[in-house]
Each structure stands twice: as C-alpha cells, then as structure tokens.
Structure 1
Amino acid sequence: MAKKPLLIFPKASSGSRDALQPFIGNVKYPQKEIQIGKFENRISELDRVLENQTAYLGANPNNLIAEMILVLEVAGDLNDFFRAVAATPGMEFLGELQSEIEPDEDFYIVDSKTGERSDKRFGARLFLTMTNQNALRELRTYWEKYKLDKENQNFARNTGRFRILFERLKDIRPYSITDRIYDTGLEEYLNEMRELQVDPVKFEIELAYKHNVTKDTRAFEEVKLLVEQNNGRVLETSRVILPEIAYHAFIAEAPLASFNDLTENTNVAFLKSQQILFFRPVGQSIFNHEQQLELIDYEGEIPTKELELDPVVALFDGLPIENHDLLVGKILIDDPDDFVHNYLVQRRFHGTAMASLIINGDLSEKSTPLTRPIYVRPILKPSANDQSAGEFLPDDKLPIDIIHQAVKRMFEGENGNPPTAKNVKLINFSIGDPFRPFHNNISTWAKLIDWLSYKYNVLFIISAGNKVDDVILDIPSADFDQITFQDLETATLKKILEDNFDRKILTPAESINSLTVGCSHHDSHGDFNFPQRRSLLTSSFLLSPISRIGFGYNNSIKPDILMPGGRHLFRKHLRQTNPQKTYLRIENGESINYPPGNLVAMPGAVGDTRKVGYLTGTSNAAALTSNLGAKLYELLVELNEELPDNEKIQEEYFTVIIKALLVHGASWGNAQDIIAQIIRNVPGVSPQTVKRNIYPYLGYGSVNSEKILYCTDHRVTLIGFGNLTTRKDQNAHIYSFPLPPSLAAVNIDKQLTITLAWLSPLNFKTAQYRKAHLFFDNLENNGHLSLSRNSHDFKLGRKGTVQHDILKGHYADVFQDGDTINIKVSCREDASGLSITEPIKYALTVTLEIKENVDTMIYEEVQLRLQQRIRERI
C-alpha cells in the first residue's frame, strides 16, 4: 500500500453563515403571585443580614465596609445577566455557575410530546454578585418594579433582565461556607491530612476579584487578619492576581481544628468571610510510586544523535533523568525554580516516563524517535520530608501561578530574558487534581489553560485522569475462573457505567480549548501469559478500566479522544467476602517489571541509565498523543516544502491543524456496539439518547494514526484552514471537495469524515463561556452522495471547540465529473463580547475513503481536480 501525502484545499470561497435552530425551552415557571409570596420576606431579610455583617466589621479595627456575596439561583438560562448587574450602582457581578434543579410543583419540564409534567432534572444558573447597602436598595427597587410591572415598562435600559430573573428565581440567599467548599475537594483533602496527622494544613483561598487594586488589597488584608486571629498565617509570596481570568488567590496555613465545623455555626471567622469565594487543597500528590527493586534493561538499539532543532512539544511534569540512554540529547530542561535540588534520580519517575513516550513512543513498537528535542519544565517535585511519597505540586506556590509563569516564560521571556521555547505548538500536561473530579463548573485551572491556549496559540494535551481502585463485579466468585472473555467484559463495563459519577475526568481536563485524552485498553506488547492476572476487556477500542470519563464543560465531548494507555490487569482477591460477587484487586507497582503496558524509560539505580518498565494510564495516552502531534508537525513542514510560496501553510495555523488532525483519526469501532448494548438496558435511557450516552466513555473514539499521517490510493484527506469573524461578509467559508468520477453509479462502501477545530476566546463572566462558535453543516443530504450517520451525534458534537462527524454510504450515487461536496464553515458569537473583527483561526480536515480491497483508486482523481481548480483560480 503506497503512502501518499495529504492534500490542501484550494482557497475557500466566502458565504453567508448558516443559522442554527434556537433551543426552545419548555420549563414551566410559577405565577407572579407565587413568586411574590415566596420571596417578599426573603429579599427584605437581606438588609438584616448585611446589617449583621456591618456590626461584625464595626468591631474590627480596620473598620472595613460591609459586603455580601449574593447567590441568585435561576431556573433555565438568563443570558448576559452581568450587563444588568453592571447597570446597578454598588452591585458587582462575580460570576455565573452551573447547577441542576430537581423539579417541584413550581418549576418543572413539560414533555414536548405528551404535554405532561416530566420528572427530568434541568439546568440552572447561579449568579454571584458582590453586594453592598446601596446595591441592596437597588435590588429592592427592582423587586418593587417587578411586582407592579405588566409589560416590562418599569425597567430602565439593561435592567430588564431583573424582571426575567424574578420570574425564574428559584432561590436567593447569602453565600455560605457550603458554597465555598462545594466541588473543591477540600473535605477529602482535610480527611487525608487527618490520616497523615499533618497539622497545621496549607490551603488555597480564592477571593472575590473586584477589578480594583485598592479593593483587592483591602480584601486581602481583611482575610489575612482573620486567618492570623485564628493562629494561622498567609504565605504572602504566594499571592497571585491574574486580571485576565478574574483570579485573586493565595496560600494560607491554619490549625487543622479550624475546619472541624464547616457549618454556618462555626466560630472560625475566616471561614465565613464574605471576601472569600473558595477554599481548595494545595500541594496535591499527583503521582505516587514505590521504589522498584528490579527493572528491565532496554535491549533495543538506541540512536545517539543529539537533536538540535527547535522543540515544538513542551512537557510540564516531573523532572526527567537527563542522561538516561533513551533521553540523552533529546530533552531541554528549563528549571528556573531549581526543582533539581534534592530531586534524587530514583524519584524521577513520572517525568522520565512521559518524556520517553513523547520522544520514543511505546518502546515495544520500536518506532523512529522524534527528530526534535522536547522542552521540559519541571512543575512537580518530591516531598522534602518523605522521598518515597511520590511527586507533588509544591505546597508553597499556587498551580495557577506555576503554569502561568511557565507558559509566559516560554513565549515572552522573563526578567528581560528572551523566550525559552517560542516555537512550541503542544504542551503535554499529564497532570490532574486528584481531589477535583469535574461535575458542573469549570475550574480555575481549566480557565487559565483555555486563556493561555488562545493567547499564545498553543494546544494543551491533557490526560483525563485515572481511577485506580479495586473492582467488585456482579459475578459469583465460584464462576469467575470459568467465565468467558465476553461475559467478563460485559460485567466490567456494567460496573463502569454504574460507577460513572465517581469516575469523572479530573480538573483541568474539562478545558474547552485543549484536547483531553483518555486511554484505550491497548498497547503494543502483544500476547502475555500470567494465569493469575486478568485483562477485563477484549476490544482495543474500549476505554481502559482505569480511565476516567466525561462529559466536559457545557456537555462538551470529553475526553476528546482515546489513545493506547496500556492494558491494566487485575487479579482475584484472596478474600471473597460475598459469594455472589467477585472482588478483584487492581495490579499496581508490583507489575511494572512485566507486560502488558506501554514500555517506557524508568529510573534505575544511580549510574544505571538503561532501565525500562511497563506503565499504564491516561498520562501515557496523553504523552503518546503529543508524540503523534509532533509527527504531524513534521508532516506539515514536509508539505510546505513541496508547495509553492503562494500555497504554503502559514505556521500560525499549525496548532489548529494539528488539533483537527489528532481528532480526525478517531472512531468508535466495535466499542460502539459493545457499549450501546449495555446502555440500552439502563433504565431511563431512550433509543434516541444511546449515542449521547456513549460519548463520556469513548469521546470521539480511538485514534488511528495511519489515517492522519498519510493517504492511500483508496483514502484521500484534504486540509483547509483560515480565520473567520462574525462580520456578515467574513463569517463563513465554503470548501469544495471534488468527487472522484470512478465512484459515480457504482455500488461501493464509502466513508466521509469531517473534523473542524479552533481555539476560542473566553467570557469568564457567563456560564456560556465560549465566545466563538464555529460549525459545519449537516452533510447527510449533500445532494451527491447518499450518506447516513451510524455513529456520533451531530448536535452534541457542536458543544466544544472540535466538531467531528463520520458519515457512511453504500449505494450507487449519480453525479457528474466536476461535482463537489460543499462544506460550509460558519462562525457565530456564543458568549457575548466577541468583537466582529476578531479573527478566529480554524482548521478543517475532510477524508473520503473506500475499502482497500477494491480496484477503484480515488486519490489521483481528487488530486488532479484540485490542481485544475488551483490553476483556474490563478
């Protein structure tokens, strides 16, 4: 099978943006009289709450001005509410969070088919506003207008949303301690500190960012004083203010007993400070491991040439072993924080493994290493007190600060020094917050990564996170040793589906501009024979039993893709406490010397620089994605060398092209039927929602690298790229894919794959968040090919910053030579604030393929017609 280069679309033609069908909500809201009766006293009560806060601050020697964070819970959507807040004197909008509402007699969903009340939960918004006495008076004025208002005539410009808010108001209350620790992982962190007998404890405090230096300083000083009054302290060098993402935080330390009572009855004043938005853990253990007594010597040939080209991949991780035989001359370590100090070679585990996978791939494949070095910025380090405890994020610096400064140093330089890695296109981030599975609200980590991605035109490759636990299967223990592979696989997947809430992706994997990678149950080692160790799954398209699952923010597809993360094995637990179930113990460090898994470089004894071992997990999958991304970069460079100057791909588009291509090779394979069969039997899942429920487990699917690295006679891939704005004359591009004449009127299986990728600017004030929404139209009825969609959900695929679709056809289609499939890429504003002149870079990749075992060859036909169109344009 001859390998042929990918092709470039001719310049797109301009068109008019397609309109998206608006979502028509069917939420039932209560009558005005009910709302007035429910909230009249509660709104008046807010004055008393603020007066009590004022009295408290009156005893404070700083005599600070009382403020209160107000929570307004609204059923359904209320777009751009922050504009109404901005028009209210004394009221400042802090943010908008997502939640879900249980239906009750006042708020519920009306079934669109039956017209009857449904028991479905539905979305809500929590609007957080910083309020003072003047603002509360204004709020009361709006309330009085609402009570009298009949036709929205009483509200001034930009304040009419308060009327809608009162119509949909589900709750109004002051911000509480429960809000400050909700979905932060703080309680789990504190429990771990109690078990480890760590006292005092360090933690992050995020303050309400006020867009005013004086007010921010005053808030910091107030909270600092309250912490000190409770025998705590603030690490002043840890304070970070990042206006671009409205972030103001620092690290504090306090006695563990301060957190014994996390209710509003606590007498610990700093817990109730109205300046504080969140408490979070710091210094998390990101990767634990035990010292191995024996590892394997790598027996393959190792190229010794030192790499000199500029790196295009950066690794943010632990410190690798610079002189490991598999890494020497291939990594550029930048360690301005001197993490190398006290970082023993034997503890350089995770960074060494990730660097090995990015540079060499899975060593079992014996593939060609990258031709460029990778840039490594250590952000993990071992515990200063316990070198056997694993690798940690530091507990004296905020992760936001570490990541921000590291990226800024790469692209802008630091302290007058030039940029350290300005040509990097991919940043590998195989790190997640073990205390923060993603549920509803986007994390500050993810916000930072999304903002950095757009600002510096760089793609973060993020691991979905691992769920490394023992498994209890609904199989009689006595039957386990005789169970078929298929029945074992079914039982395992049922268990994964049952535990889906506890298996959510780890922050910051919900980032919308990044690619989040889960791991498939696959590696390149081949067969193995360990009778006591069992592989629970058979299909290489399935997610690993240890891979975490999605969705992402605003129900975007997460993980985006699956990559081989190694086959993680289990063994039957010696103690079986329930004969109707089988208890399986997960295999961890003791199996590192034996396959299966991804074969990677590992630390040996001092001076032993050839050791390797087998590793599994989503970190591996992310690193292999970065390896593939680096190869795609070289592919684009090679394409440019063959193109005339006026057709070359500008390097500013390389990032989005790589992003599109990485997803372009993804498909569900036979995993779709395996998981769908189980999902169909889950109570409450209708046939229409089966596809939607597959996404959290497979994303867009497992990636076939061959499909995106080259074409064949039977498979042709075209790349388009450009930028769009929301201006009427610049908000759509139309690409024409030439149809090969040999397919006309022939019964032949064919597949069309389309992928669109971009990086979006963000609006941090609204839960809509994504400013730029790009999309392509539905090509099922394209006028020339009869295609249908067996996998994927067309509408759901428009939620993030990648849209991926696969269409198949089997019939003899009638078309003429010169006919094309036209694909329109449209751009619209999603969250408000997108300038009509702001260009949004994007990439479009389209592949038409037929079976390899037929005589029809389509590549040259498409290539010839592309060249004709280019000549016509010239």
Structure 2
Amino acid sequence: MSRRPLLLFPTPDTTSPSRRNGGGEEPHKPSVTRQGERLSPQFSRLEAALENRRIEVQNDTPGVDPEYTVVIETYSSVPDFFKAVRQIEGLEWLGEHEARDLEPDEDFYSLGSDSQSLLNGQVMLMLSDRRAIDELLSLWREYGQNPNMPFTRGWAKFRDLFSLLKDIRYWNTQDRLRNTGILEYWNDVLEFDADTSVRFEAELWFRTDIVKRENAHNNVTRLTQELGGQVISSCCIPDINYQSLLIELPAGQIENILRDSRVNLIRCDQVMLFRPLGQMSVEPLWSDTAESSNQVEEEVVNYEASRVEFDRLPRVALFDGLPLANHLDLRGSLIVDDPDDFESDYPAENRIHGTAMASLIVNGDLTEGARKLESPVYVRPIMKPDVRTANNIECLPDTELPLDIVHRAVRRLFEYDGEQDPVAPSIKVINLSIGDPNIHFNGKMSPFARLLDWLSSKYNVLFVVSAGNHSQSITVQQSGLDFHHLSDDRKATEIFKALQESNWERKLLSPAESVNAITVGSTHSDESTPVLRNGLYNIYDVEMPATYSAQGNGYARAVKPDIVMPGGKMLHNEAIGSSDISAVTNYAAPGQLVAHPSPSASNYRVYIRGTSNSAALASRGCVEICDTLEGLFDENDQNAQFEQYSPLLLKSLITHGASWGSMHDHISNHLGSVNSSTLKNVVARNIGYGKPDIDRVKFCLDTRATIIGYGVLENSEAHVYKLPIPEGLGGADIWRRLTVSLSWFAKPCPTHMKYRDSALWFTVEGENKDLTARSSKSVDWRQVKRGTLQHEVFEGEELAVITEDRTLLIKVNCKDNASRIVEPIKYGLAITLEVAEGVDIQLYQEIQEVIEEQIREQARAQLRAQVPTR
C-alpha cells in the first residue's frame, strides 16, 4: 500500500463555542451547628498562634506590625473566593491549589454510589494583618450564631467557605521545613562533611508590590548575615509569582537549626519554605560496576570538538550535561553553545549524561541502527560534575538557582539581549531529561513547572520532559523464598500491584507536571537481549510500564505522563531474607545502547535505562515529524505558518499516533478483577495516552488520511473543521476509526486553582454531536479535557453517521479559564480517519479531492473579494 502525504485543512469557519461538559459534585456537608463544633477549636488555635507570633516579633523588632500567612483548607472548591478576599482590608491573596485524595469522614463524604471514595478539595493562602484576621473571625462567629444571616454584596462566598471548611491555621515554621526534603538534606550534608558551608533555597511569598519584594529580600539577607551566612544569588520572575534566594550558612548554624528551629531566619514570615537547592543531579539508573562488552580498544582519543558548519537549522535543543561532541556516534551532529564555559572544568570522562542523551536524540537506540537525524542538535550545558561527590555526579551548579539557569538558557535562544542576536531561534523543541528528586508532585505546581509553562507560552516552544525515575526497592508481600517459588506471571503481578500500592512514593518529579510540556514516562522495553543468571529477575516478558518510571496524574488530575517511550529493561535482584527487590544498575545489557566516554576508544558504547532515555527518544521523534511538517508547509507555500504553529502541531502529532495497545491488556491481567473506570485510571496514571507510533503520523495510506489544522482563537470563539466522509462509508458495516488530537499552550495563572488562562476543547458537531463510540482502550473522556492536550479515539462499525452533505464537523472551542485571555490562543489540530486495510475504499483519495477543491474555492472567494465593485 502506497504512502501518501499529510493533508492540510482549508481555513475553518468561525462560530461561537459549544457547551463544555464537566465539573464535580459537592460532597455531603454537615450542618452549620456541626461545623461550629468542628471548627471552633481550630479558630481558637489560630488566634493563639497569631498572638504568640505577634509577641515574638514585637520582642525581636519593637514597633513592627507583623503579617501572617493563613492557610485555609476546604472539601470541594470555592470558586473565585479570591474576589471575596478583597472585601476585607488587610487580606492579600497569595494563591490556591488543589488538595487531592482527601479521606472522607462522618461529616464530609461523597454523595455518589461509593461514600468512601476519596475527595478533592482546595488549599487557599492569604497574607493578613491582625485586624483583618479579627474581622474574619468576627464574620465566622456571626454566621455560626445566625446561619440565615444575609451577606452583603461580594461577601456571599464566605458562606460557601464556612460550609466546606476543613481547616484554618497559621503557616508556621514546620510548614517551611517539613515535606520539602530540607531537614534530610541538611543531615546528609553534615554527615558527609561536618565543617562545610551549606547552600539551600529560601523561596519567599511572592508579593505583587515591588517595594514589598525588595523589603522581603533585604530582611532575609539581614537575617542570613546575622547567622554568619550570605546570599549567593537570587531570582525573581514576576510572571510566575516566583522570588527566591540561594543562601549559604556555616555548618554550625545548620546544626543549631536542626537542634532548635527557633531561629529568626527560619521563623521569618516572609519565607514560604526552605528546600534543598534543586541541582537536579542525574545520578542515573546505571553505573560502571559491571563492564559492557562493547568496548573497542583504540588509540587514546582527543575529544576536542572542531567547528562544524551545518546545512540545516537545528530544531531541537538539549539542556543537559556537556556531551562528547567528537565521539564517533555524535561527530558532525551537535552545535554546542557554552557561554558559561562549563567545558573548562568538565573532564571528558565525566561527560556521561549529556553524551547519552545526545546519542539517543541523534541516533536513537544504537542497537536498532536507525538513521541519524538530518538536522543538528543544539546543546546548552546546564550541568557540570560536582567534585564534592564520590562519583563526580553531574548536576546543576550550586552558584545559581535552577530556574535562573534555565530561564537564561531559553531566553538566549530566542531574544536579543542588547549585544547578541538570538543564538537558535529555529528551535521548536527543548529536551529536559532531568528532574528534581526533592519535589514530588502532590497537587501543587512547582516553580520549575510554572516556569516551563510560561516559557513555552512566551516563546512558542515545546518542552519534552522526563517523568522522573524512582529506583528504590520494590516491597512485595511475600518473603524472598516465597516470592522465589512463584510463577513468572505471578511475580510480575505481585511487582505491579506493589508499585501501584506505593504510587504516592513514585509521583512525578518536578517539572514533569508542567501542563504545556509533553511529559514522557518509560516502558520496560528495548532491543537488547538480557543475559540472566541465578538471582536476577527480568520482571516483565511483555511491554509494560517500567518499574522505575514515575506515575501520574498531573495538575487537576490531567493526563500525565502524556506518553511513554521505551526506556530500557531493568533487571532486579532476587530478594534474600526480605521482601525488598532491588534494581540492578550497570552498563551491561539490557538497556538502550548509547555513546559513552572512554579514554581509549572513540566509539565506546554502553547500555543504559531511564525516563531520561524516553524523553530523548520522544524529542528525536518530534524532529522526525518536524521534518515532515516543514516539507508539507513548504510545498503549500505556508512557511510562515510552519514557524508559528509547528511546536503545537508537534505536540498534537507526537501524541496522535499513541495508543494503549497491548499494554492495556497486560495491565488488566496483572490488576485482576477491577471495574473499567479503575482500570482506565491505573492505565492512564502509568502510560498516559500510550506509546506513540512516529511513522504512523508522518504519512497516510490509501485507507488512512491525516489532516492537519491550526489557527488562533479569541475568548468565546470556535473554529469548525469539515471532514469529508467518503461515499463508500455510507450505510456500510465497515470498521472505521476517528482520532482527534488538539493542543495549545496556556499562559499560567499561578495564584488561581484553575491555573490555565484558557480552556480549549474539541467537540463533534451536527448529526454526529452525540458520537459516543470512544475506544474502550483510551483515557476517560472527562480527563482528556483537564490539560492542554486532548487526544480521543472513536472506533466501530457505526462510528460516523453520514450526513446529507457527507461531512463530519469537528469544532475547536475556546473560553477564558483562570483569567481573561489577553492574546489570541494558537492551537494545533490533527484528525485521522481510517478504515481497515484491505477495504475497497479509496478513502485518502476521496478526502484529498474534496479538501483540495475546498481550498481552491476559498482562494477564488478571496480573489473575488479583492476585486473592487463598480
């Protein structure tokens, strides 16, 4: 069957949007009297805590009127409560985020069929002076005494708040320290070197008033200096509500804090939290404890890379460690941009991770022998070896905050800085195969994820991010000997169930929750042949989610990871005398074969595994699709449109060919008897929309047509696309499949729980508006609308009702979400209609003929409109 090129839709019609379904139900709520009983102690504790803090501040700094951060937690959400906050003078809205998986109790529980199902709520943060708190408390007391009291205009949201309130408290020292990893980090650093100075991050509450931001910066600096420390650097990015300081304190002061946290710096109300410096080290899922058999003995290699001129523009950027640009597998394929001169302090033998990621993007898994990319890869080193660690682990330097490093690197690609032109404005995709092991996604967007969302929106670039690795041991229910005697299938089932039961310990690593990025998890697959011996397990003999791959969902329960790619098989050691099964980490097979530094071979290769690999392979796939798109747009004289819309079309197309495939059945077999909803949730949490088929979206067939659309939408606007239906499908009992993928970049709104400034979604319209033949092996139809990528599959013998004009209508809708849409929203759309191979219908040809005629008619209409009337 011959390959056919992709098709472009004609300009769509503009209309008004359709109704957007969705929205959760409120839980059962207790009476006002019962709420009073529950909450009165909490309000009393809040009053006492604020009074104690006022006395502390007055003793330390007489005459200063302190401000406090108040935390409000609710069951369910209170929409637009921030508007009500403005009614109380002295309350300043700091932000809100979703609270996930709240345990029901006798007062709050689901009204659905399962009263024990988990609830989702809201966490709100406000800055307040004491007078504002007194007013809030007074309002609560009045409402408790008179539940029917009238609320003045603008205050009615407080009634909703009181009815759903779970807790109200003061943000204290423990909030700044717990669940951030900082205490563990301080202990680990002091255990390694008790005399060292310790660097860490202090993230401040972001204030919209620049004077208040400067005051907070100066105050935290003063408190740091009083402890004999210093502020190494700072970063403030107002667009994502981020202000943070990189602090260094002497080891002795850290020891004092660990013994007694009543230190002015730690108690400072202007600090939101302290966390380990997010160096995002890439201590990978491999090591040199076992030698690979792929070493080739040659002369000692000089890895100094020579300048190479390229015929094509780079389309993908790799932000990672410094690679060996002169390795035989990479030579002539990389543009290394090193403005910070990392190379001068980056020995060749330590250039491991960047070399591996560059190898996967350029070559794919070397075992497969695929063609090199035709365009070069732009590389910006953002990591370097940490000489203080035993293995010189590659990580972000500790002289700057990570967000500042990445922000500068992206800005350098696309902006003129007053001295130098943008260095690589042709970039469409940025690969980030790194993650912060200290920040596991728990429902609140991390600063790094917010940064990627803002940068993708600002610069129109697609980030491809690894989901994150979790290499800790897997604890099964059986002891080592009992587990050993299980069948291979039963072992796989026990492992998979253990991973699902510990999913809270295996969440996405920041910034993988980014709503605009493509987040990539791993499957347990590669092209190598593992050599097994006694005491080693190859857990899965079929393609499954990798045991090390982080699990979703994303923000507001959106689909995350978006897709999965092969990440390499991970072997595990047999448990002896325990129930813990540990991973095997070495450079030997199985895994994916990549370039690697060696002092004696210029083509040395090793086997590796991890979600970093999967992200790199996804980026490679994006470049392959980008080459196809560039040719298509060039042939249609739409080069300007290619530059504008290709990042979004790449986001849609890399997902468009994705499916759950056999992994759905394998997961179902291991889960056992669960309902379809639970099964879908587990599958989506592990593999998102599934594994992409890159070749599938690069061309069409006689029986399969993929048509691409794009455009910009204002608030309350929609575009209608008309998909021609071949006559042969009318009334025929022929299996057919419709796949639709829509993506856009939302501007982040950090203080709003809805987070995305805009909501786009597609609907099937006309006589097919009730189309419900969704594939049983696809993500729940409600979940697909929670992010910025909606991918749905419809299939069956009665999929499309043939209308009188043989047209299927797909509408792309746009509405405000968390804020007013300031600039029109660009989107990318891919639609595929197909029938089974062998069916005697020239589906592609018939669709192509109709679309080409529609384009010609639009061109004629434009010419007629340009002719002046007499």
Equivalent position of 1:772 in the other structure: 758
The aligned counterpart of 1:201 is 198
Alignment correspondent of 1:245: 240
Instruction: Classify 1:283/1:488 alpha carbon distance in 2 versus 1 (closer, same or farther; 3 Å).
Output: same
- Separation in structure 2 between the aligned mates of residue 166 and residue 783 of structure 1, nearest angstrom: 40
Task: Using the TM superposition, give the Cα deviation of residue 443 of structure 1 relative to its aligned residue in structure 2, in angstroms.
Answer: 0.6
1:501 aligns with 2:504: yes
Aligned-pair CA distance for 1:48: 5.4
The gaps in structure 2 that reach 5 residues or longer are: 298-306, 860-870
2:362 to 347, 350, 359: 359
Residues 50 and 170, structure 2, Cα contact 8 Å, conserved in 1: no
Is the aligned partner of 1:543 residue 2:545?
A: yes
Q: Give the alignment partner of residue 833 of structure 2, picking from 839, 848, 859.
A: 848
| Residue in structure 1 matched with residue 857 of structure 2 by the alignment | 872
Question: What is the DSSP-based 3-state SS (H/G/I as helix, E as strand, rest coil) of the residue aligned with 1:703?
Answer: coil
Q: Quick one: which of 725, 729, 733 aligns to 2:719?
A: 733
Task: Report 1:548-567 matches (<5 A).
Answer: 548-567=550-569
Deviation at 1:372, TM superposition (A): 1.7
Q: What TM-score do you get using the length of structure 1 for normalisation?
A: 0.90
Hey, what does 1:674 align to over in structure 2?
666
User: Is 1:600 aligned to 2:594, yes or no?
Assistant: yes
Q: Which residue matches 1:429?
A: 432
C-alpha separation in 2, matches of 1:79 and 1:262: 40
* Contact kept in structure 1, 2:189 and 2:198, CA below 8 Å: yes
Aligned counterparts, 1:175-254, within 5 A = 175-197=171-193, 199-229=196-226, 231-235=227-231, 237-254=232-249
For residue 85 of structure 2, what is the aligned residue in structure 1?
A: 85
- CA deviations 1:641-666 (Å, max 9, x no partner) are 22145x97342111100000011111
- What secondary structure sits across from 1:110 in the alignment? coil
Q: Is the CA contact 1:178–1:263 (under 8 Å) kept in the aligned structure 2?
A: no
Question: Could you tell me which of 643, 656, 660 is aligned with 2:652?
Answer: 660
Change in Cα spacing, 1:535 to 1:755, as seen in structure 2 (3 Å) is same
- Please tell me whether the aligned partners of residues 183 and 258 of structure 2 are also in contact (alpha carbons under 8 angstroms): no
Matched, 1:273 2:268: yes
User: In 2, distance between residues paired with 1:4 and 1:103?
Assistant: 55
Which aligned pairs between 1:664-743 and structure 2 lie closer than 5 A?
664-681=656-673, 686-727=675-716, 731-743=717-729
Unaligned runs of at least 5 residues, structure 1: none
Cα contact 1:381–1:394 (8 A) shared by 2: yes
* Whole-angstrom distance in 1 between the partners of 2:489 and 2:38: 56
Q: 1:166 to 1:494 in 2, by over 3 A?
A: closer
Q: 2:815 maps to which residue? A: 828
Quick one: distance in 1 between partners of 2:485 and 2:35?
A: 62
Q: Residue type of the partner of 2:108?
A: F
Aligned twin of 1:641: 634
- Three-state SS of the structure 1 residue aligned to 2:607 is strand
Matches within 5 A, 1:286-301: 286-288=281-283, 290=287, 296-297=294-295
User: Distance between the aligned counterparts of 1:700 and 1:431, measured in 2?
Assistant: 22
- Residue 286 of structure 1 and its aligned partner are, at CA, apart by 1.7
> Which shifted more, 845-854 or 89-98?
845-854
Give, as a single letter, the amino acid of the residue that structure 1 aligns with 2:711: G
Task: Report what 1:162 is aligned to.
Answer: 158
Alpha carbons of 1:845 and 1:696: their partners in 2 closer, same or farther (altered >3 Å)? same
Q: How many residues align?
A: 844
Q: CA offset at residue 323 of structure 1?
A: 1.5
Q: Which moved more, 1:365-374 or 1:560-569?
A: 365-374
Q: Between 515-524 and 143-152, report the one with greater CA deviation.
A: 143-152
Match of residue 127, structure 1, among 93, 109, 124: 124
Tell me, yes or no, if the aligned pair for 2:484 and 2:574 is still in contact at 8 Å: no
Q: 1:853 to 1:530 in 2, by over 3 A?
A: farther
1:104 is aligned to: 105
Shift in Å, 1:865 = 1.8
| Matched letter for residue 281 of structure 2 | I
TM-superposed CA distance for 1:475, in Å, is 6.2
8 A contact 2:736–2:799 mirrored in 1: no
Secondary structure of the equivalent of 1:98? Answer: strand
Checking the alignment, whether the CA contact within 8 Å between 1:558 and 1:699 is kept in structure 2 is yes
- Cα distance in structure 2, aligned partners of 1:325 and 1:415: 38
CA 1:814/1:392 → structure 2, altered by over 3 Å: closer, same or farther? Answer: closer
- Residues 281-430 of structure 1 mapped to structure 2, 5 A cutoff: 281-282=276-277, 284=279, 286-288=281-283, 290=287, 296-297=294-295, 307-386=310-389, 388-414=391-417, 416-430=419-433
Aligned to 2:785: 798
Closer/same/farther in 2, CA of residues 644 and 82 from structure 1, 3 Å limit: same
Q: Report whether the alignment pairs 1:461 with 2:464.
A: yes
One-letter code aligned to 2:593 = L
Give the C-alpha shift of residue 137 in structure 1: 4.0
Equivalent pairs: percent with the same residue? 35
Give the conservation status (yes or no) of the 8 Å contact 2:240–2:748.
no
Cα deviation, residue 265, structure 1: 7.3
CA separation of 1:749 and 1:284: change in aligned 2, threshold 3 A: same
Q: Using a 3 Å threshold, how does the CA distance of structure 1 residues 817 and 26 change in structure 2: closer, same or farther?
A: closer
How far 1:721 moved relative to its partner? 0.8
Deviates more, 1:607-616 or 1:751-760: 607-616
Aligned pair 1:859/2:844, yes or no?
yes
CA distance in 1, matches of 2:47, 2:489: 64
Question: Which residue identity lines up with residue 486 of structure 1 in the other structure?
Answer: D
Compute the displacement of 1:394 (Å).
1.6
Using the TM superposition, give the Cα deviation of residue 623 of structure 1 relative to its aligned residue in structure 2, in angstroms: 0.5
Q: 2:527 aligns with which of 501, 524, 528?
A: 524
Q: Which residue, 715, 733, 758 being the options, matches 2:744?
A: 758
In 1: Cα distance, 2:485 partner to 2:60 partner = 72
CA RMSD between the two structures: 3.0
Q: Is the Cα contact below 8 Å between 2:88 and 2:132 reproduced in 1?
A: yes
Alignment check: 8 A CA contact 2:656 2:740 kept = yes
Check conservation: 1:232, 1:252, Cα contact below 8 A: no
1:810 maps to: 797
Q: CA deviation at 1:826?
A: 1.0
Q: Is the 8 A contact 2:768 2:800 kept in 1?
A: no
Deviations 1:353-384 (A, max 9, x none): 11111112222222221122121111111113
- In 1, the alpha carbon distance for the partners of 2:133 and 2:150 equals 21
* C-alpha deviation, 1:102, in angstroms: 2.8
Instruction: Indicate the residue corresponding to 1:171 in structure 2.
Output: 167
TM-score w.r.t. the length of structure 2 is 0.90
- Name 1:33's counterpart in structure 2: 33
- Code of the aligned partner of 1:28: H
Render the CA deviation track for 1:258-293: whole Å, top value 9, x for unaligned: 667989974223222211111111154622264576
Aligned residue for 1:325, secondary structure, equals coil
For 2:188 and 2:594, the matched residues in 1 are separated by: 31
Whether the 8 Å CA contact 1:296–1:611 is kept in 2: the answer is: yes
> Which residue does 1:572 correspond to in 2?
574
CA pair 288-202 structure 1, distance change in 2 beyond 3 A: same
2:136 equivalent to 1:143: no
**Greater mean deviation of Cα atoms: 92-101 or 847-856:** 847-856
Q: Give the counterpart of 1:617 among 610, 616, 641.
A: 610
Q: 1:256 to 1:161 in 2, by over 3 A?
A: farther
Cα deviation 1:97-127 (Å, max 9, x = unaligned): 332433333333323x59xxx2333122221
Question: Is the 8 Å Cα contact of residues 465 and 520 (structure 2) preserved in structure 1?
Answer: yes
Q: How far does residue 845 in structure 1 lie from its aligned partner after superposition?
A: 0.7
Q: Which SS does the other structure have where 1:595 is aligned?
A: coil
Question: Match of 1:544, as an amino acid?
Answer: A
Residue 62 of structure 2 is aligned to residue 75 of structure 1:
no
Q: Does the C-alpha gap of structure 1 residues 732 and 337 become closer, same or farther in structure 2, counting only changes over 3 Å?
A: same
Deviation digits for residues 608-635 of structure 1 (CA, Å, limit 9, x no counterpart): 3221111111101100111111111111
- Residues of 1 paired with 2:69 and 2:613: CA distance? 42
Q: Secondary structure at the match of 1:27?
A: coil
Using the alignment, how far apart are the partners of 1:475 and 1:206 within structure 2?
A: 43
SS in 1 for 2:749: coil
**2:304 aligned residue:** none
What residue in structure 2 maps to residue 15 of structure 1?
15
* 2-structure distance, mates of 1:830, 1:44: 36
